[in-house]
Structure 1
Amino acid sequence: MPAVRIDGKAFAEQLREEVAVGAAGFTAETGRQPGLAVVLVGSDPASQVYVRTKMRQAAEVGIASFPHLLDVGTGEAELLALIDSLNRDDNVDGILVQLPLPAGISEAAVLEAIDPGKDVDGFHPYNVGRLSGGKPVMVPCTPLGCLLLLQDRLGDLSGLKAVVVGRSNIVGKPMAQLLLNASCTVTTVHSRSRNMAEECRQADILVVAVGRPGLIGAEHIKPGATVLDVGINRVEDAQGQSRLVGDVDYAAALDLAGGVTPVPGGIGPMTVACLLRNTLTAAKQRSNK
């Protein structure tokens, strides 16, 4: 029986509708919209598209957006000064600095400069520590989107065997921590792991976030498993036409898995929707304070 196609696009639309209702209530109560500041340094085309998408969707759900598009020559001191001003701006509830940053700017210094209460990406060490302790304030958007999709499909995740392929600070590590907090039995595999296929075949839940097209094939997938493909890779076919693919061999997953996310249309839309949700959460928390 073919796997169920897990429609992240449809779920994200539902989540945005919920955020819109919450944002309208917040605005009626406080007299202002929740506010999201997005900072982009440089002119990377993919980052520019992503920022425009965030701004458009923020406006659609009633979140005020404050874009700061900085020249590629912007120095670290200037960027840190901007973040300091956004930290002190009462109209800004969430601050997102688009990564990667140009050479010469310390990513760690920039992320640590953001007020943890406005860190809607969930990358500040304070929020990382809270997540590790099982008391999250802001959860990174992509892992949060994955968790919501899993809970929607599977319900209670307690006791399920979960394997996370990848150990990045942005997806792999927080994803493993979220699954552990949900009482899964969690294994992380990576480039130095031995017998990766054997480890993956034990998974009831398989989350793949590496950035290598076709890394996961039939030999990695347990029949009936739920497979979330976080990878987004642009490849060219024999005719020179480019297309987006994930880290998972989608056709193989369809034959074996119980459910699988497509690329595109799976995890990507959830990431932006969770960013908007985090912004509303930050606005409410700041208002309560």
Structure 2
Amino acid sequence: MILLDGKKTSADIKEEIALEVRDLKNKGADTPHLAAIIVGDDGASITYVNAKVKACELVGFESTLIRLPKDTTEEDLLNEIAILNIDKDIDGFIVQLPLPKHIDEQKILMAIDPDKDVDGFHPTNVGKMALNLPTFISATPFGILELLERYKVETSGKHVVVLGRSHIVGSPMSILLSQKRKVGNATVTMCHSRTKNLKEITLQADIIIAAIGIPEFLKADMVKDHVTVIDVGITRLEDASKKSGFRLVGDVAFDEVAKKSDFITPVPGGVGPMTIAMLLKNTLLACQRKS
């Protein structure tokens, strides 16, 4: 069993990006600049955005963090987006989700300039991704592709089962892995809450992408020997034996599934660290496209 180490891989990617940024600066080119808007005081969102700011510093990016109160109106947020859209110093920006309930998330995502949409959520970029055209691939699917490629996991001709159909992970992964690309050419089955005979399907899978949001859902009796498992889920479970009072688990019952796996991602330390690394990669790409 080989652990797909997202922590190490993301560190490698950040080092590669830092070298490219140094090269840009030596040539007198613009330094990549990533901006983030956060509305409200959601603890997980603040932690995540702060991690993005630190990652920008690490690789030599410029970064801007715009903090708005939770009672910010939709109109005011749209105005902030309009300013970033025309700011030539900003290469890419994100609006941290979730947003307060009084703000229409889809309307906000639609307002972002697709050329600066480094999260890859704008319909223009989703459409280009579906057509296998050059675009920003959203960070989590992009990170999964990168992990599979760097660990030389063969996908061509394999049966991939994707658990979950979210717009952020499940749907794009099913499209990307079926495409004619280096990490692709797979036969993909996408399963969800209405899928019947799920165990029969997962037992056929060479590769399973688990993004269903149910802790430790995928058990050993649901997978065949020599499977590759990518666990996208992360949930806090109470655990009195831990100093923190909780432990983090994924959508996969790791200890039992790992015994049957050729490759598997841990939680934490698998897909999670890759997300920020690929956001940085998209921002570098946006900067290079601009010049």
TM-score band w.r.t. shorter chain: over 0.9
Deviation by residue 1:215-270 (Cα, 9 ceiling, x = unmatched): 11012212111101010100013558201110000011111111111000000000
Question: CA 1:155–1:258 in 2, change beyond 3 Å: closer, same or farther?
Answer: closer
Which residue number in structure 1 is paired with residue 178 of structure 2?
A: 180
Distance in 2 between the 1:257 and 1:98 partners? Answer: 34
Conserved? CA contact 1:122–1:139, under 8 Å? yes
- Structure 2, unpaired ranges of 5+: none
1:191-202 alignment, distance < 5 Å: 191-202=193-204
Deviations 1:63-90 (A, max 9, x none): 1101011100011110111011001111
Q: Structure 2 length normalisation: TM-score? A: 0.95
Match of 1:69 in 2: 67
Query: C-alpha deviations, 1:34-77, integer Å up to 9, x for none?
Result: 00011110100111000010000111101110101110001111
Check whether the contact 2:230–2:265 (CA below 8 A) recurs between aligned residues: yes
Kept in 2: contact 1:54–1:272 (CA 8 A): yes
* Aligned equivalents of 1:15, 1:49: Cα separation in 2: 21
Aligned equivalent of 1:35: 33
Shift of 1:132: 0.7
3-state SS in 2 of match to 1:154: coil
**SS of 1:199's equivalent?**
helix
* Structure 2 counterpart of 1:267, one-letter code: V
Instruction: Please tell me whether the aligned partners of residues 27 and 34 of structure 1 are also in contact (alpha carbons under 8 angstroms).
Output: no
Superposed, which structure 2 residues align to 1:189-268 within 5 Å?
189-237=191-239, 241-268=245-272
Q: RMSD between aligned alpha carbons?
A: 1.2
Is 2:280 the counterpart of 1:282? no
Name the TM-score, length of structure 1 as normaliser: 0.96
**1:79-119: CA deviation from partner (whole Å, max 9, x where unpaired):** 11101100111111111111111011111111111111111
Deviations 1:140-172 (A, max 9, x none): 000110111112223552111111100000111
> Any stretches of 5+ residues in structure 1 without a counterpart?
none
CA distance in 2, matches of 1:93, 1:196: 43
Q: Call closer, same or farther: CA 1:154–1:205 in 2, change over 3 Å.
A: farther
Cα distance in 1 for partners of 2:202, 2:160 equals 9
Q: Are 1:270 and 2:244 an aligned pair?
A: no
Q: Secondary structure at the match of 1:258?
A: strand
Instruction: Give 2:157's aligned amino acid.
Output: G
Classify 1:10/1:239 alpha carbon distance in 2 versus 1 (closer, same or farther; 3 Å): closer
Counterpart in the other structure of 1:131: 129
Which of 80, 94, 97 is 1:82 aligned to? 80
Runs of 4+ residues deviating >4 angstroms: none
1:156-167 map, 5 Å? 156-167=154-165
Contact 1:166 1:188 in 2 (8 A): yes
* Aligned counterpart, 2:144: 146
* AA in 2 matched with 1:34: P
Percentage of matched positions with identical amino acids: 45
Take 1:167 and 1:238, find their aligned partners in 2: how far apart are those partners?
A: 33
Q: Is the 8 A contact 2:240 2:246 kept in 1?
A: no
Aligned 8 A contact 1:151 1:157 in 2 = no
Whole-Å separation in 2 of the counterparts to 1:276 and 1:40: 18
Question: How far, CA to CA, are the matches of 2:91 and 2:222 in structure 1?
Answer: 42
